[in-house]
């Protein structure tokens, strides 16, 4: 809520400041704490709960047209990295809604922010009529983004795909009539009609008319770079980019960069790779669009472009997932004309309040830097994978396409059992789920097991407990192969 003087205090502000409201919220949060504290480890379903739980899964499948990928329906309660399902079972949540729940389940501070948001007169905030929470969220996000970039403005929206749609519109308008897009091989952009065309996954655009001109660039390949030399590999990629520009002169509106590929396999690249390509974009008036829908908050700095010192290059940025409300940020030069960005909804009050709280916690906590908690947890994760591989080398045969069986950065973690086989890795996900850990996969061959754990509440001592479950699941998957 925007600050106002005491003399001009509105009734709405009085409601937010009411001691009765504060006491009620405190009582609610205390009750959640009491219940959540009883969740301390994984456990099986409660006796007699299976029939009712299967009915919930059946109803979910009938409503969606297909059953859920996992037999997962949450109860609405958890404790940090542990989540309770509606059958009373408890699992380690190591995927967190593909990275949304960075501070885990039933986190008291975020619950307090969400409950307070429920006092507002409307659930949704919009472009035409808005309370101040949407603007305050943008102020807070911009306060961090402006520290190491030229980004100046922020437009919030309801999903990562919509944030990317808005980014593309901003780039199109600036470069009109240019209409082509450059993207990396194996990129993922979202599932709207346009984003499904830009994303490099044929299965996600079956039946979608192809109306967007997309040119795909190779992402950094550490194996090839080691073989031919990093400088020569980067030179080859620059040559590849120049060929597209010469083939379609003046027709590229943007190059969308995933500084860490998400769905593509948690692939990373050195700064020199990106600067070489971004210098070409700058010389040819092609917008540098940084898609951080999945990376936001998870690397060794709040923004991946900060981790790589690329802020001066960024023209347009998209963030989402962990931020709760999604957003498109852009420089003064890319500020669009009136009417280009709009919509009935910009988001829910609860998303803005909780999202602002998340950004503030990331800003004020110990997450970042070489000695920060992100780096520490990534190191502990790697140690667990290496120990697992030393005990079970048969699960981890060499994979020629990758440098190491373990990879990623910060809170984006992946490892590669069973040679990254397309059939075996998803089956391993399900076997691990049955043993008490929720995770997922990524990559387009090889395939990897993917973790986006709730590092905001993860404890160092949790990792051996999580990997004990993973080890049991992989053992079952290996036996079934």
Residue pair 90/84 in contact by the 8 Å Cβ criterion: yes
Measure the CA–CA gap between 11 and 141, rounded to whole angstroms: 28
Name 229's Cβ contacts closer than 8 Å, sequence gap at least 6.
none
- All domains of the chain in start order, with CATH: 124-364 (3.40.640.10), 373-480 (3.90.1150.10)
Is 407 buried (19+), middle (13-18) or exposed (0-12) by CB count in 10 A? buried
Q: What is the pLDDT of residue 30?
A: 97
Measure the CA–CA gap between 273 and 269, rounded to whole angstroms: 7
Q: What is the pLDDT of residue 5?
A: 54
Supply 168's token pair: 């593309």
Q: What is the pLDDT of residue 65?
A: 96
Smallest Cα–Cα separation from 81: which of 111, 102, 108? 102
| 156-169 burial code (b ≥16 CB/10 A, e <16) | bbbbbbbbbbbbbb
Q: What is the pLDDT of residue 176?
A: 97
Question: Angle at CA 25, nearest 5°, toward 20 and 27?
Answer: 95
Kindly report, residue by residue over 217-274, the tens digit of the pLDDT: 999 999 999 999 999 999 999 999 999 999 999 999 999 999 999 999 999 999 999 9
| 369-401 burial code (b ≥16 CB/10 A, e <16) | eeebbbbbbbebbbebbeebbeeeeebbeebee
Measure the CA–CA gap between 336 and 176, rounded to whole angstroms: 12
Question: Angle at CA 438, nearest 5°, toward 219 and 352?
Answer: 75
Residues forming a β-bridge with 451:
413
At 8, phi and psi to the nearest 5? -105, 20
Measure the CA–CA gap between 388 and 401, rounded to whole angstroms: 21
Q: What is the pLDDT of residue 14?
A: 92
How many other CB atoms are found less than 10 A from the CB of residue 341? 21
Q: What is the pLDDT of residue 153?
A: 98
Measure the CA–CA gap between 194 and 254, rounded to whole angstroms: 14
Low-confidence stretches of the chain (pLDDT beneath 50):
none
Residue pair 271/238 in contact by the 8 Å Cβ criterion: no
Kindly report, residue by residue over 271-321, the tens digit of the pLDDT: 999 999 999 999 999 999 999 999 999 999 999 999 999 999 999 999 999
Order of all β-strands in the sheet with 287-292: 151-157, 326-331, 316-319, 287-292, 252-257, 180-184, 214-217
């Amino acid at each position: 809520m925007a600050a106002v003087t005491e003399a001009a205090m509105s009734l709405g502000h009085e409601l937010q400041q009411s001691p009765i409201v504060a006491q009620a919220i405190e009582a609610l949060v205390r009750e959640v704490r009491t219940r959540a504290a009883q969740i301390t480890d994984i456990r099986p379903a409660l006796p007699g709960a299976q029939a009712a739980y299967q009915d919930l899964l059946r109803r979910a499948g009938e409503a969606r047209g297909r059953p859920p990928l996992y037999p997962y329906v949450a109860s609405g309660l958890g404790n940090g990295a542990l989540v309770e399902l509606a059958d009373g079972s408890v699992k380690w949540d190591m995927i967190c809604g593909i990275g949304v729940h960075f501070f885990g389940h039933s986190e008291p501070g975020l619950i307090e922010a969400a409950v307070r948001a429920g006092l507002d007169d409307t659930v949704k905030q919009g472009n035409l009529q808005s309370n101040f929470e949407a603007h305050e969220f943008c102020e807070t996000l911009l306060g961090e983004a402006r520290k190491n970039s030229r980004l100046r403005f922020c437009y919030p929206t309801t999903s990562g795909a919509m944030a990317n749609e808005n980014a593309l519109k901003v780039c199109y308008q600036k470069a009109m009539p240019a209409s082509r897009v450059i993207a990396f091989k194996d990129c993922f952009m979202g599932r709207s009609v346009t984003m499904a065309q830009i994303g490099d996954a044929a299965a996600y655009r079956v039946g979608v008319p192809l109306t967007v001109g997309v040119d795909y660039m190779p992402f950094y390949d550490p194996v090839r770079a080691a073989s031919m030399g990093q400088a020569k590999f980067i030179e080859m990629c620059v040559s590849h980019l120049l060929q597209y520009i010469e083939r379609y002169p003046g027709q590229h509106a943007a190059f969308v960069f995933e500084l860490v590929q998400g769905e593509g396999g948690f692939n990373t690249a050195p700064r020199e790779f990106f600067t070489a390509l971004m210098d070409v974009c700058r010389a040819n008036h092609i917008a540098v669009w940084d898609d951080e829908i999945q990376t936001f908050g998870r690397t060794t700095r709040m923004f991946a472009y900060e981790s790589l010192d690329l802020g001066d290059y960024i023209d347009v940025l998209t963030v989402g997932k962990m931020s709760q409300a999604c957003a498109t940020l852009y420089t003064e030069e890319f500020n669009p004309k009136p009417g280009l960005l709009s919509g009935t909804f910009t988001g829910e009050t609860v998303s803005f309040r909780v999202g602002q709280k998340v950004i503030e916690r990331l800003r004020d906590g110990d997450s970042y830097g070489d000695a920060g908690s992100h780096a520490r947890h990534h190191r502990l994760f790697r140690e667990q994978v290496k120990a697992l591989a030393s005990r079970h080398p048969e699960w981890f045969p060499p994979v020629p396409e990758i440098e190491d069986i373990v990879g990623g950065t910060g809170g984006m973690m992946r490892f590669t059992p069973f040679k990254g086989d397309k059939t075996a890795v998803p089956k391993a996900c399900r076997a691990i789920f049955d043993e008490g850990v929720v995770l997922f996969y990524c990559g387009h061959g090889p395939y990897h097991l993917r973790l986006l754990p709730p590092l905001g509440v993860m404890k160092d001592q949790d990792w051996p407990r999580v990997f004990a479950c993973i080890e049991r699941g992989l053992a079952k998957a290996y036996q079934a192969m």
